Structure 1
Amino acid sequence: MSTRFRTGMVVLAALVAVGAGLGVTLMKRGDSPSGSRASASEEEKRPWLVGLSLHMTTDDYGVYMSRAFQETLEAARVDSVITDARHDGQRQREDIERHIARRVDALVIVPTDDQLITQETNKAADLRIPIVAVTAMPGSRVTTTILGRDRDNGFDAGTILARKLGGQGKIMVLNTPTDLTRLTLRHEGFQDAIRGTGLQIVATRRDVSKEGCMAAVEEVLREHPDLKGIYAPFGTALIGAASAVRARDRKDIVITGIDADFEVLRLIQEGWVEATLAQYPSEHGRLAAQAALRILRGEPPLPSVDAPFKVVTRENAAAMARELWERELP
């Protein structure tokens, strides 16, 4: 492990716990982001360094995405440095400033509040640091965006919810407390799906932790005991919502959403979650790293790259646990 990495790396406890092995790989430097060739002495002194600014590592997405990101770069003999914003927008602003100070050659961002970090991302762009965004980041000068089909995923989750409820009943919506474009797109898609039905949104609550989302659902259930459905557009929201419903033994409440954490798949298999739209975090990490490598090698950057998805129900939850997490559901 290089001295540069040891002094610069922010230790991610969540990743250490799962053995992600954050560190530096073999040293290699080729074409600079501007396309000019570095001298042989520069190659010996400093390899390419690609930064990853993560939104959080408290869910399976962050852990597996960052692992695949690093493994892809290691295979290409490129160094990486990873920071965890812990779903704190101000912390992510500071993280990006640290990546800039480290003189990273490219920067991959999974934003926690994409509107809050535009000043920092555009500062990086001014310094000719290419940005790879793992979701839409309007306002930032991004070189490549890994597209996660957010609006369509929200539409599909809403369509499934409306169909299961027969187009009638009171529902609630969970969201994050931050200004996050990908969640806005998911919500817009969801609203498009239920427009013209008899579904009535009686409450919208904002939190990001499993415990906070669970408490929010419990509060709404006290206010609306006749609640029939919940839309939860990210993993911890799905887990929190299902935990609250399970505590009341309310299998009549239909839950749909987005993300397929291992715990979400288990809840689907047990019947507490009706369906979710699976993203592929490992594939997101691989695609983001490949996009950065393409830029660093002087190849024409791709403005956008489509990421895979899949609808998950009880019928394929066990197969998805093996496909996504290489684990068997109990």
Structure 2
Amino acid sequence: MRRLTSVLMIVTCLLAGVALAADELIPRPSRPARSYRIGVLEPNMAIPHFVAQAYGFVDEAEKLGARVILYDAGEHKNVAKQVSQMEDLIANKVDAICIVPGTTATAVAQIDEAIAKGVVVVNVNIMSDNPKAIGRIRSDDYELGRLQGEFIVKALKGQGNVVMIAGVSGNSAFIMRAKGFKEYVAKHPGIKVLSEQWTPNATDKGLKLMEDWSQAFPKIDAVYSGGDRLTIGAVQALLAQGKQPGDVIVTTVDYNDDTERLVREGWISAAMVQVPVTMGRWGIRVALLALEKKPIPPNLLTPTYVVTKENADQIDLTAVRQPKGWRPPM
């Protein structure tokens, strides 16, 4: 029998409906008297989340009279490439660097080098092991995982088998999401985690894992996913197996065009939505505040919320996606 997926939505950081008009923790500062050059390091712009984030960096910089020099490492684990890009920015004497490291250990030494040379370094989205980088702008990734656990437990009424597509190893965002999920479901003994696998955030990886698990386990009731590219692949596998929307509870993080379609069709039961455009905007604001010797607010956690097919029409996407047709200035 098709499992009903209509579960009361869980919303965090929203006070008025499902909208992104909440007061910002870090309002846009005044335009500085001089124009600054800010390097931005993204880990993998094949993923829509990071394209939207790049838009936030670039658009906010333009609004505040700054210029962005944008680099893409091409994959989370391209550590050597991202290190080389950071060294290039340091050599070019940019005023600030906003780094979204592919892993927590990426460019730790280069952050020290940049700071020693007077370059402001702002850490965004994926947390660095180097505590000297300022800002630490991110979603509450632990909460994103916990919310998935809460949704799945409620949808399964506390009984069922779950598989975990954890995401990229060595990456703070995926690590904390998985931790939040596991610690929540551990309180519900009727929920059994059959398998947890770490893998690059790519559609083909999610597809292959779901195919393998379907062979290994006769009954899978729910799928936890740390990122929506993986989820899309998992749904493709379920579709190929003749499943119907709602037969398996599927939850994920992020909300690109394909994810939205699958949410509306019922294949993805709930998406934990981040605001990558806001992350980019806040990164530029923190960089400029630091350069202008102005105070920076602590605890810069960006809003997150849950989208299901029941509330999908109520979502304001301006902080989630770049405008249609926008391309990164690479």
Select between 111-120 and 49-58 the one with higher mean Cα deviation: 111-120
Shift of 1:173: 0.9
Shift of 1:306: 2.2
Q: Is the 8 A contact 1:265 1:318 kept in 2?
A: no
User: 2:100 aligned with 1:107, yes or no?
Assistant: no
User: 2:130 aligned with 1:158, yes or no?
Assistant: no
The aligned residue for residue 21 of structure 1 is: none
Instruction: Choose which of 191, 201, 205 in structure 1 pairs with 2:193.
Output: 201
Instruction: Choose which of 247, 250, 254 in structure 2 pairs with 1:259.
Output: 254
Q: Is the 8 A contact 2:43 2:101 kept in 1?
A: yes
The aligned residue for residue 306 of structure 1 is: 301
| Separation of aligned partners in 1, 2:172 and 2:256 | 21
Letter paired with 1:193: Y
TM-score normalized by structure 1? 0.81
Q: Tell me, what secondary structure is at the counterpart of 1:227?
A: coil
Letter paired with 1:166: K
Instruction: Choose which of 275, 280, 287 in structure 1 pairs with 2:275.
Output: 280
Q: Is the 8 A contact 1:175 1:208 kept in 2?
A: no
Shift of 1:250: 2.2
Q: Deviations over 1:284-311 (max 9, x none)?
A: 1111111111112221233432211111
- The correspondence of residues 59-208 of structure 1 with structure 2, limited to 5 A, is 59-87=47-75, 88-135=78-125, 136-197=127-188, 198-205=190-197, 206-208=199-201
Point out which structure has higher relative CO (alpha carbons under 8 A, 6+ apart): 2
Shift of 1:29: 7.8
Q: Is the 8 A contact 2:138 2:279 kept in 1?
A: no
TM-score normalized by structure 2? 0.81
The aligned residue for residue 55 of structure 1 is: 43
Q: Deviations over 1:106-144 (max 9, x none)?
A: 111112112132122222222232221113323341121
Q: Is the 8 A contact 1:175 1:207 kept in 2?
A: no
Q: Residue 245 and residue 56 in structure 1: after superposition, are their counterparts in 2 closer, same or farther (change >3 A)?
A: same
Q: Deviations over 1:194-222 (max 9, x none)?
A: 01222211122223211111111111111
Letter paired with 2:96: A
Shift of 1:223: 0.8
| Separation of aligned partners in 1, 2:132 and 2:99 | 12
Q: Percent identity?
A: 22
The total of aligned residue pairs comes to 285
Select between 55-64 and 135-144 the one with higher mean Cα deviation: 135-144
Letter paired with 2:301: D
| Separation of aligned partners in 2, 1:315 and 1:270 | 11
| Separation of aligned partners in 2, 1:52 and 1:221 | 41
**Segments ≥4 residues shifted beyond 4 Å:** none
Q: Is the 8 A contact 1:269 1:318 kept in 2?
A: no
Q: Is the 8 A contact 1:151 1:186 kept in 2?
A: yes
Q: Tell me, what secondary structure is at the counterpart of 1:304?
A: coil
Q: Tell me, what secondary structure is at the counterpart of 2:69?
A: strand
Shift of 1:242: 1.7
Letter paired with 1:66: A
What stretches of structure 1 of length at least 5 have no aligned partner? 1-27, 31-42
Q: Deviations over 1:300-323 (max 9, x none)?
A: 233432211111111122333755
Shift of 1:279: 0.4
